[in-house]
Structure 1
């Protein structure tokens, strides 16, 4: 008995001394063995704002965890050091790779070294193609108009809709058409169930939890709890993905049989399939599966969630909505005059004339003409500043290093730059940092870029997002068509908050009612 009491006294003294040493420490308080895991678990559902609280007091915070240490950074000089200056010292790393491998495999977002360079070279060649850009413009217009039709029906019967879900369907259909050359039809008027999308979201949520769950490997070994759910969802995802690959290969073989000299579709998957035929590439169907899923998360989730947050910002900031609608109206008139097009008048009670006018407007939108929509570009960029699609991005540490602000980081740990927090820091954006203000991006009405190490929504340095222009193209196309003709209103009582996953999606969707814009022309 005396031994037990002595052990308890020693344990309590150890905890007391440990906590006493942290009285003046900056950052979350830790516990012996558990580090800051307890505090992170308690604040898990609002972790991005939990980090904001600490980074507003210190530009760098160190968070010890049971098996590693996270260093969170929000200062642009530190971010530039990690993403560019000392890039080779901060790969995705083995820890991140182990968390995400079940979903992303060895795809471009989860790979390092030569494997990453090969994929990026192939992808960058494709994204630089004017053919792909022109084809993407047609596809993005087509699916934006499909969404327009669904909203048209909802407006007539005052039906509540989940805009985030509809946008996820639109971007999934788009990336499958542009990236993989296949039609999957999730945005058909009947809105068919989409087991792949549901499974993809579930897996995304579970792998995010792995970052702070010290027991995930144990749960995986015994196939219990969240890891058991993940295992089942991965089966659904793989069934879909391998079917896309088989279908694409069959189409390529059929086309080659008809005309061996004719090069068929120039989508991203086709290029990787062609690359896999080279024995030196070491690519197989598993490699192609990883390519598909990495581009799904890039082309579907990030774009859809940004569009959802943008619509939420527009509907909750009336002055922004008015300025945006005015820009779109002026653009429509100017472009119609340039093209010598007579715009068809429409009435609210005539759906066919309403749709025809929308099609006329959509026809005026292309890559070059949308470059004139400076305020729309600013609205999207300001949305990304406050609600970046990837709210945190962790990097591994190969060797001990010292960040520009003097913070020492140890090999084997993780450095995470935090776009969500960076957009809310006064030391980055001034006293109105938390305000939604598209005007901050405009000078004399013309959009002005900011440093990618300050505005980190598309990353920066060698890993800067290849699909940035494509993402803006789709987002501007969709928002221009929707906001020119519709007004959105949040359903009473609906709560908008983010869900903890690798992408900043809304936990409960975006429930709205939609009405035609109060303008008859």
Structure 2
């Protein structure tokens, strides 16, 4: 198998030249060309800088909204935006579509046996214990103490200084720091204090960013043998991944050791709950910590980054959000954010266009047939595509390109106001759906709405892009803006 890989790399330049003309002249509205031995590799290679958008286009161009990617050496992967298929995968045949060995081995160096990388009893145990941290009491404490404290003592002062000095901030970086402090404080009782005026370039944050990026790049290699060979030789990106993971584990071990010293019989956070469960294996608990940092840091920060961009592009919607924020300003904090209906709808609409997790994958552990007739063989990767689904005319109508929070609202017959109208989670699987639906969904919305209220009540966020260009969407395990989101902060003048 290794010799075949070497031969393929030797022949690749010639294959590329031979097929380049065919690829260039192909109809952009048709499905990507597939060739013997190399499958869709030429299209994959040509679109390596925009794979999420390319796979989204392929799904849209399929009558069933399902596309089978053919990779070199006969590998196949199913990509779908068909809601019936999504429900089949995430609910109806939940036991058939698991994380599986491919996903697990690719991310194991980073996530280990954490909740996002395991199946079966291991997953059930971690999910059951974690669920206790997402009750109403915990959510109220989170938004009233952790988020509000981080907002008023760290985020707002930094924005105030930036506004006074007319300086440029990378809002994507700021929001990642904010989210990281939040998740560490609420889940582990530990404050890394990354959102401070000096904006320190901490080793852990750099290592985490690198580890997530390199781990996600493993999925894009022609064959896993390639990155496994680099890991064996400890060279290139795999060498950096090893160094980054070591730094991450030093950080999480520090959190773990401090928590052990202050452990009481009554759990006060997620980490103490796991430690009190009797599962004191340090590697497992470290894996759990890393998984929750990934979830808490990258998803809400990604959603908010794109949200502030879309608000700038749509000033009328920003005015409506600000109006709602000001109307709720006298309410208690928890009630304020809980009742921000228009802002909630705006966040949902933003994540429709820019989902924090644009593609999610499962592995079929048995032969199956999807509702649209797509044949799935045991061992095939099957991915559902929230990014593509958020751009489907068949779901959202002819105005799907428009940023319209109103599509999430309807008239409340019992009051003279609008109420939020949730969508079927299999049509809008931004938070997954079925048994593995995101435990932190409500927490994420509370955090995001509190940030939106705190920032927009006082400031305007203005992108600082010289050429007037739009941000470039890039996807690792979560979506990002390429190169960050440079902005200037302006004091909001009262009307």
TM-score normalised over the length of structure 2 = 0.89
User: Which of 124, 130, 135 matches 1:123?
Assistant: 130
**Does residue 484 in structure 1 map to residue 457 in structure 2?**
yes
**Does residue 409 in structure 1 map to residue 409 in structure 2?**
no
**Does residue 451 in structure 1 map to residue 428 in structure 2?**
no
User: Which of 254, 273, 276 matches 2:275?
Assistant: 273
**CA-atom RMSD, angstroms?**
2.2
For residues 50-449 of structure 1, the aligned pairs below 5 Å read 50-58=54-62, 59-66=65-72, 68-128=75-135, 130-131=137-138, 133-145=140-152, 146-213=154-221, 214=223, 215-252=226-263, 256=264, 263=266, 266-275=268-277, 277=278, 281=279, 283-332=280-329, 335=330, 364-366=332-334, 368-444=335-411, 445-449=418-422
- Find the counterpart in structure 2 of residue 39 from structure 1: 43
Kindly state the Cα deviation for residue 455 of structure 1 after the two structures are TM-superposed.
0.7
The CA distance in 1 between the partners of 2:229 and 2:91, in whole Å, is 36
SS of residue paired to 2:480: coil
- Find the counterpart in structure 1 of residue 6 from structure 2: none
- Kindly tell me the number of residue pairs found equivalent between the two proteins: 461
Instruction: Single out whichever of 128-137 and 469-478 deviates more from structure 2.
Output: 128-137
- Find the counterpart in structure 2 of residue 505 from structure 1: 480
Kindly state the Cα deviation for residue 125 of structure 1 after the two structures are TM-superposed.
2.0
User: Which of 28, 39, 52 matches 1:48?
Assistant: 52
Kindly state the Cα deviation for residue 484 of structure 1 after the two structures are TM-superposed.
1.3
Find the structure with the greater CA-based Rg: 1
The CA distance in 1 between the partners of 2:35 and 2:235, in whole Å, is 27
- Find the counterpart in structure 2 of residue 345 from structure 1: none
Q: Which runs of 4+ in 1 moved over 4 A?
A: 23-26
Q: Residue 132 of structure 1 contacts residue 267 of structure 1 at CA under 8 Å; is this kept in 2?
A: no
Q: 1:296 to 1:443 in 2, by over 3 A?
A: same
Kindly state the Cα deviation for residue 241 of structure 1 after the two structures are TM-superposed.
1.1
SS of residue paired to 1:394: strand
SS of residue paired to 2:301: helix
The CA distance in 2 between the partners of 1:488 and 1:110, in whole Å, is 37
Q: Residue 27 of structure 1 contacts residue 62 of structure 1 at CA under 8 Å; is this kept in 2?
A: no
Kindly state the Cα deviation for residue 330 of structure 1 after the two structures are TM-superposed.
2.0
Q: 1:514 to 1:149 in 2, by over 3 A?
A: same
TM-score normalised over the length of structure 1 = 0.85
Residues 175-203 of structure 1: CA distance to partner in whole angstroms, max 9, x if unpaired? 11001001111112222222111111111
The CA distance in 2 between the partners of 1:438 and 1:505, in whole Å, is 22
The CA distance in 2 between the partners of 1:370 and 1:300, in whole Å, is 20
Kindly state the Cα deviation for residue 222 of structure 1 after the two structures are TM-superposed.
1.4
The CA distance in 2 between the partners of 1:295 and 1:144, in whole Å, is 21
In structure 1, stretches of 5+ residues that fail to align are: 1-7, 257-261, 337-363
The CA distance in 2 between the partners of 1:371 and 1:394, in whole Å, is 32
The CA distance in 1 between the partners of 2:140 and 2:105, in whole Å, is 34
Q: 1:48 to 1:475 in 2, by over 3 A?
A: same
Residues 321-348 of structure 1: CA distance to partner in whole angstroms, max 9, x if unpaired? 111111112222xx36xxxxxxxxxxxx
The CA distance in 2 between the partners of 1:428 and 1:70, in whole Å, is 24
Residues 471-496 of structure 1: CA distance to partner in whole angstroms, max 9, x if unpaired? 00100110111011111111132651
Q: Residue 314 of structure 1 contacts residue 320 of structure 1 at CA under 8 Å; is this kept in 2?
A: yes
Residues 153-212 of structure 1: CA distance to partner in whole angstroms, max 9, x if unpaired? 110011110111011111101111001001111112222222111111111111111112
Q: Residue 364 of structure 2 contacts residue 380 of structure 2 at CA under 8 Å; is this kept in 1?
A: yes
